[in-house]
Structure 1
Amino acid sequence: MVSETVSVSVPGNVDLAGDLEVPPSSRGVVLFAHGSGSSRHSPRNRAVAEALRRNGWGTLLMDLLTEDEERSDALSGQFRFDIELLGERTAIAVDWLAKHPSTSGLPVHVFGASTGAAAALVAAAERPDRVVSVVSRGGRPDLAGGAVGRVRVPVLLLVGGRDEHVLDLNRKAAEELPETHRVQVVPGASHLFEEPGALEQVAAAARDWFLQSAGSGPG
């Protein structure tokens, strides 16, 4: 079992911290792109990541912003909707996984939450030869702009049944996805999936999607 804190270098002399865990004989590795106001310490994403590892998946939970950027964003909101920046950093993390000794031979899937889902879709569009599939939890795929129409991998859009506005945005964005996709509603769940059993449903749906997509390979 590989378990280590790692650093991913991105343009601007910026190093982003991540937590990499890879169980033996992993099926693949899942990169988590966190949403606005969140980080690799997100309890919801960490719960999903733990469930995936129990089912044989490696995980990389990575900060998309530095601590200074997070503090600035908390005051001004200047980074949380900068999808170009967040998407670029997610794509660089995909490249990093292709080079790391523990993950270089593993297929890469991306799990995005909130605005991180838009970053995940941008990365999938930019790295069609490396990203195998995408899962969005309560995501904002509409913020990915023209990248949505360039995604060439299967995409699962998970939305809480009580998150009506985001559900509408997901359904509209799904119309632009050219490849296999599904909008799946988690009944009774709100935007943060805080209801009992909601995150377990998210983890199970993500696991099944990644398994279903694994045989298709990137591109």
Structure 2
Amino acid sequence: MITLRLGDAELPGDLAIPDGAGGVVLFAHGSGDPRDRAVAGGLNAAGMGTLLLDLLTDREDQFDRLTAALRFDLELLTLRLIGAIDRFTEGLESAPHTAGLPIGLLGAGTGAAAALAASAARPRVGAVVSRGGRPDLAGPSLPRVRVPVLLIAGDRGAELRRLNERAARKLDTSEVHVVSGAGHRFEEPGALEEVTTQAADWFNRHL
């Protein structure tokens, strides 16, 4: 566990960096999501470091569970993620074995929109992956994203797939990967494994 101390919050996260890592992927989610943990384990096995990050404090998370208000506060989530990137980058550069490592971002739901907006603001970010995300919510940030973006959607969520395809047309470099037989949570047998394989290949190619 590590803690990133920002101006308005202290954000907990789980960090894993394998020997010889080709980069570090920040998960714009919660460290308690078992799907994120499964994908992170696959990325670690593929030679990528990972940081599972909570963008909300415990108190904010409790409030959001009751109101569902903060998960759609894109300004808050984006600013938190930008602050986390800055603070985490300082830590990477302070250690000889991690200095210069490229950074990728992975988000789902509104976390994907925050990841896209943050990548537009921070050139250190080298690639982004959206897992069943809402990239359309990044709105005016989309045309300013200059890094390669992989948008992963399930073919059982037609509306979400259309939103991803529409957002892809506004991105400079992007690809949409549709997981056959999967919904937006990728709970079907083999679906999350396919997500992990696609994400690992994307980050290894572009970081």
Q: Which residue of 1 aligns with 2:201?
A: 208
Name the aligned partner's letter for residue 209 of structure 1. Answer: W
Q: Which residue of 1 aligns with 2:127?
A: 133
The Cα shift of 1:103 comes to 3.7
Name the aligned partner's letter for residue 28 of structure 1. Answer: G
> Does the Cα contact within 8 Å between 1:29 and 1:103 map onto a contact in 2?
no
Q: Which has the higher helix share?
A: 2
> Does the Cα contact within 8 Å between 2:6 and 2:87 map onto a contact in 1?
no
Q: Any residues of structure 2 matched to 1:9-20 within 5 Å, and which?
A: 9-12=5-8, 14-20=9-15
Instruction: Give deviations 1:98-148, integer Å, cap 9, x for gaps.
Output: 1113643210000111111001001101102x0000000000001111111
Q: Any residues of structure 2 matched to 1:51-200 within 5 Å, and which?
A: 51-100=42-91, 101=95, 103-128=98-123, 130-177=124-171, 179-200=172-193
The Cα shift of 1:86 comes to 0.5
Name the aligned partner's letter for residue 127 of structure 2. Answer: S
Instruction: Give deviations 1:161-185, integer Å, cap 9, x for gaps.
Output: 10111101111111111x2100110
SS in 2 for 1:109: strand
Q: Which residue of 2 aligns with 1:217?
A: none
The Cα shift of 1:47 comes to 0.2
The Cα shift of 1:208 comes to 0.9
Give the number of equivalent residue pairs.
Answer: 203
TM-score, reference length from structure 2:
0.95
Name the aligned partner's letter for residue 8 of structure 1. Answer: L
- 5+ residue gaps, structure 1: 215-219
Q: Which residue of 1 aligns with 2:24?
A: 29
- Specify which of 32, 36, 39 is matched with residue 41 of structure 1: 32
Name the aligned partner's letter for residue 189 of structure 1. Answer: A
Name the aligned partner's letter for residue 99 of structure 2. Answer: S
> Does the Cα contact within 8 Å between 1:97 and 1:103 map onto a contact in 2?
no
- 5+ residue gaps, structure 2: none
Q: Which residue of 1 aligns with 2:2?
A: 6
> Does the Cα contact within 8 Å between 1:118 and 1:143 map onto a contact in 2?
yes
Identity among equivalent pairs (%) = 52
Runs of 4+ in structure 1 over 6 Å off:
none
C-alpha separation in 2, matches of 1:195 and 1:40: 22
C-alpha separation in 1, matches of 2:141 and 2:5: 23
Structure 1 vs Structure 2 CA RMSD: 1.1
SS in 2 for 1:30: strand
C-alpha separation in 2, matches of 1:117 and 1:18: 18
Name the aligned partner's letter for residue 45 of structure 1. Answer: D
TM-score, reference length from structure 1:
0.90
Name the aligned partner's letter for residue 116 of structure 1. Answer: G
